[in-house]
Structure 1
Amino acid sequence: MNAALPYNELQRLAHLHALNILDSGREQSFDDIACLAMSLCRTPIAVVSLIDSDRQWFKSCVGLHATETSRDVSFCAHAILRPDDLLVVEDATQDPRFHDNPLVLGDEHIRFYAGAPLVSAEGHAFGTLCVIDRVPRRLDQLQLNSLQLLARQVMQLLQLREANQALQLSQQKLLTLYNQAPVAIILNHLDDGRFIEFNPEFVRLIGYSAEEILRLNTADITPSEYAEEDQHKLQRVAATGRYGPYEKHYIHKDGSLIPVLLNGVLIEAPDGEQQVWTFIQDISERKRAEQIKNDFVSAVSHELRTPLTSISGALGLLVSGKLGSLPEKMDSMLTIAHKNALRLSQLINDLLDMEKLIAGKMGFDLKRQPLVPIIEQSLESNKAYADSFDVSLSLHICADEQDIPLMVAIDAHRLQQVLANFISNAVKFSPPHGQVEVHLIQQLREIKIAVIDQGPGISDEFREHLFQKFTQADSSASRQRGGTGLGLAISKTFVERMNGRIGFDSVPGQGATFFAIFPLANRASDLSVTPNH
């Protein structure tokens, strides 16, 4: 008598096939459970049987020389119809389902069968753990219970096997990614920087063999000038679990320098040791492209500067009236031309300043001097510009200026450039009849210079790009107001070269505050900086 199909047959078969166990080799763990079942139930045969669409296949078969039989003659095909119960056939010749079964009438001479279904968490009965005898018999309750417990252990093995296969597949994918990745990947000890693992791309990047790399640490391939910053990054990764992006150089085996961009994450090894995975991008091509761009911009800027200075000067003389009065329409057109020439001159000056900063050729003359006169001079210099936008400028001092002059060690000319950028930006983005306030705020041993406007503020998506080169908050609006996109990038470098810090505060729609903070140098002990050239 053929068994009916389970109600969930399609899902059951799909899950069974997903286990990738059918037609696999013998495994000792399954054979051990079959042997234990055979011993407990005192039968000559024990089988771990899985029911496929048209066959029953034996993962383990102890005492019977077969690997599979047709599903049509399978006792187990009946057993899986009731996943929660054992199927016990004490005498197959007396059971109408099996009395004419070829396995009963033929050489196998099966008389007794007891099968415990192998049931997944989803309720799919894949097959059975069964014991078989060639004579009629009966199992006691302890044997029946033991058979069910062992069947559950078979299911645990199947699930572990499935999980292990998934893990192996995942590991293989990661290993392929690791070995074929176009970026270098390394694993180091956090405490001493020794290399633990690295992918082939890292070997290619630095030119050492794998055996040589294992005898090195990160300090061996890093120029000495990065020692302090490297230590800072190690402290950061230990505190936060990650670091980067961090731009530096590695030393190739041939002595050449390789520009790289690093990002790292902290992990804990099974023994508790802290280690760091680092992802390394070779940015040599990017640096070469940047150098080509910088050389081009520099060449063009230098070529334009001299003729543009002459053009601006000539236009200035014309619109000033020193060469005689002009017709009204011509005066208007020349005024526009003069303003645009000045704007272009400012762009070229910014480009040349940036070139000097990148090349490290810009000198700074840091001198101890009073701060307030520099601020007042900057306000006076920018007053005409603010007037053209109908914006007023004011200075507010929140410090002990009355008792002790606020002294700072700075380059006055470079600070004037920073303030001009802060103030001009504040004026451009302020509404008509608005006010730009400059606040000096003493904070213990530091002084904060804050420029506050009443403009639209800084949008959230623009904040992280604010001090990058050629960046403007709103391209369309900024084009109308003018600007190169270099001012804040230059200002940031100027402030940091004068031992200060730069930043901003803003709420969209409520204006913005740009500030620079410098150490006070009111006393001789405060003056710990030296001129930087």
Structure 2
Amino acid sequence: MPELTNLKNTSEIPLPENESERQKAIEKYNILDTLPEKEFDSLVELAAIVTESSMSQMNILDHNRQWTKAAYGLESGTDCERSEAVCAHTILTDNNLEISDLSKDERFKDASFVSDDPHHRFYSGYPLKTKDGFNIGALCVLDPEPKKLTETQKKALETIAGEVVSRLEIRRTQKELEKLNREKDHFLRVVNHDIKSPLSGIISSANYLQNVWDGDRDELNSILSMIEISGRKLVTYTAELVSNSIEDSDSCLLIDEVRVDELIQDLIHIYTPLAKTKQVDIETNFSNTELFRLDSEKFKLIISNLISNALKFSSPGDSVTVKAEIMKPDNRVLHCSVSDTGIGIPEEHITELFTKNNKYRRTGTQGEISTGLGLPLVKQFVELHNGGIKVETEEGVGSTFYVTIPENS
């Protein structure tokens, strides 16, 4: 703790060692120059009552000034030079700073608030310490007569200072929630707009085909093409929403006991119509059907993304093969692979394959749009299982993605 020496101007006032970080902490609370708030006014008044003092303040120490957020017996919303503030010394300590008679203290005896109105004599203050350990200001009580606080009064003042900080934290949280709610409302409006357009196109096309279409083949192809394009837009957009939502959250595993082959077969059933449309065969190879413990929903997202990518970059006549095997060393490990005989991956793309980098984003063999989010999400979920993923690929020959996942307890 810096020694409180005889100080006369700003340049002589010692600053906390964490001054720059302390200033950043003040900014997070967005408290400076705000209007009076009853909860702080009440706490400051309580401080004066329990210490039997005629005045009290809640002060925030900014770069070169002391700003009074709340006051009792004095005016709030005011500021003064930090070089003249007694609280500038209080924030240098983690304990109470008490001066029985300011007129006899070399540091403050010539200060205007001592020599002139309001003729302060007594001062006692506690720093306002945030949960991160930054003294952003002080709660202090003052009196025109010299005196000393009892130990009980000092403890009460310290408790109220802690409550002031708690209210600051609540206030900050409320402000952040209000901001998030505004962002959420804006987000929902954007989502509503972006989803409504392709959905309206699909609905109106279906209605036209049911009630108006008279059998013209060219018109049918045009309408079906529009439906396909709109559907792809929806798939891409919702994939981005889900992926970003998952990536921004604190993901954790929800372990259950499953049959891996059944999970994969369910996914293949979903992708079979797309495979038939692209004239691509899907084959499977499962070595056993034992139960295995993992997060089934995240595992399905892993395999689903890999199958989807394999189909996306395959052409008519190609094939996709999904394999799964539970190995039994000391601890059981699931080995899965998804292979295709498609177009393969250019060598220069490999290093960025599992990163959210749009630089190498590619369209599928039939113009399918890629968000660039699938493989980074796959890697995230594999690593969440303490597993690993790698790829072997050759342009014009195909790609194989290998996934290993240890059994989770």
TM-score when scaled to structure 1? Answer: 0.40
In the alignment of these two chains, the number of paired residues is: 238
Q: 1:479 aligns with which of 306, 316, 323?
A: 316
Partners of 2:219 and 2:165 lie apart in 1 by 76
The equivalent of 2:217 in structure 1 is 299
After TM superposition, the structure 1 = structure 2 runs for residues 61-140 of structure 1, keeping only pairs within 5 Å, are 61-65=71-75, 67-82=78-93, 84-140=94-150
Partners of 2:279 and 2:167 lie apart in 1 by 62
The equivalent of 1:470 in structure 2 is 277
Deviation at 1:459, TM superposition (A): 9.8
Partners of 1:16 and 1:94 lie apart in 2 by 33
Partners of 2:218 and 2:138 lie apart in 1 by 83
Deviation at 1:93, TM superposition (A): 2.0
Moved >4 Å (runs of 4+): 279-282, 287-298, 458-463, 474-478
Deviation at 1:105, TM superposition (A): 1.8
Secondary structure class of the residue paired with 2:123: strand
Query: In 1, are the aligned partners of 2:61 and 2:82 still within 8 Å (CA)?
Result: yes
The equivalent of 2:350 in structure 1 is none
The equivalent of 1:53 in structure 2 is 63
Query: In 2, are the aligned partners of 1:462 and 1:473 still within 8 Å (CA)?
Result: no
Partners of 1:481 and 1:8 lie apart in 2 by 63
1:147-190, Cα deviation, whole Å (9 max, x unpaired): 00000010011000000000111111112333454359xxxxxx
> Taking structure 1 as reference, are residues 296 and 73 closer, same or farther at Cα in structure 2, changes over 3 Å only?
farther
The equivalent of 1:223 in structure 2 is none
Give the AA of the match of 1:169: K
**What is the Cα-based RMSD across aligned positions, in Å?**
3.8
Relative contact order, higher structure (CA 8 A, sep 6+): 2
Query: In 2, are the aligned partners of 1:73 and 1:103 still within 8 Å (CA)?
Result: no
Give the AA of the match of 1:97: R
Partners of 1:161 and 1:55 lie apart in 2 by 23
The equivalent of 2:22 in structure 1 is 12
The equivalent of 2:180 in structure 1 is 170
% identical aligned pairs: 28
Deviation at 1:286, TM superposition (A): 2.8
Give the AA of the match of 1:73: E
Query: In 2, are the aligned partners of 1:24 and 1:59 still within 8 Å (CA)?
Result: yes
Consecutive unaligned residues in structure 1, runs of 5 or more: 185-278, 303-350, 355-457, 483-506, 510-533
Give the AA of the match of 1:89: I
The equivalent of 2:382 in structure 1 is none
The equivalent of 2:201 in structure 1 is 285
Give the AA of the match of 1:70: E
TM-score when scaled to structure 2? Answer: 0.51
Partners of 1:472 and 1:41 lie apart in 2 by 85
The equivalent of 1:425 in structure 2 is none
> Taking structure 1 as reference, are residues 287 and 90 closer, same or farther at Cα in structure 2, changes over 3 Å only?
same
Consecutive unaligned residues in structure 2, runs of 5 or more: 1-6, 225-263, 282-310, 320-336, 340-409
Deviation at 1:462, TM superposition (A): 5.8
After TM superposition, the structure 1 = structure 2 runs for residues 144-223 of structure 1, keeping only pairs within 5 Å, are 144-183=154-193
After TM superposition, the structure 1 = structure 2 runs for residues 321-336 of structure 1, keeping only pairs within 5 Å, are none
Partners of 1:87 and 1:162 lie apart in 2 by 27
The equivalent of 2:229 in structure 1 is none
> Taking structure 1 as reference, are residues 284 and 30 closer, same or farther at Cα in structure 2, changes over 3 Å only?
closer
Secondary structure class of the residue paired with 1:161: helix
Deviation at 1:18, TM superposition (A): 1.8
1:25-82, Cα deviation, whole Å (9 max, x unpaired): 1111111111111111111101011111111111111112352211110000000001
Deviation at 1:124, TM superposition (A): 0.5
Partners of 2:37 and 2:317 lie apart in 1 by 77
After TM superposition, the structure 1 = structure 2 runs for residues 345-356 of structure 1, keeping only pairs within 5 Å, are none
Partners of 1:125 and 1:29 lie apart in 2 by 20
Query: In 2, are the aligned partners of 1:116 and 1:151 still within 8 Å (CA)?
Result: yes
Secondary structure class of the residue paired with 1:98: coil
After TM superposition, the structure 1 = structure 2 runs for residues 309-324 of structure 1, keeping only pairs within 5 Å, are none
Deviation at 1:466, TM superposition (A): 0.7
> Taking structure 1 as reference, are residues 461 and 38 closer, same or farther at Cα in structure 2, changes over 3 Å only?
same
Partners of 1:133 and 1:176 lie apart in 2 by 51
Partners of 1:48 and 1:477 lie apart in 2 by 68
Secondary structure class of the residue paired with 1:467: helix
> Taking structure 1 as reference, are residues 481 and 145 closer, same or farther at Cα in structure 2, changes over 3 Å only?
closer
Partners of 2:138 and 2:87 lie apart in 1 by 6
Q: 1:39 aligns with which of 49, 64, 88?
A: 49
> Taking structure 1 as reference, are residues 481 and 81 closer, same or farther at Cα in structure 2, changes over 3 Å only?
closer
> Taking structure 1 as reference, are residues 107 and 462 closer, same or farther at Cα in structure 2, changes over 3 Å only?
same
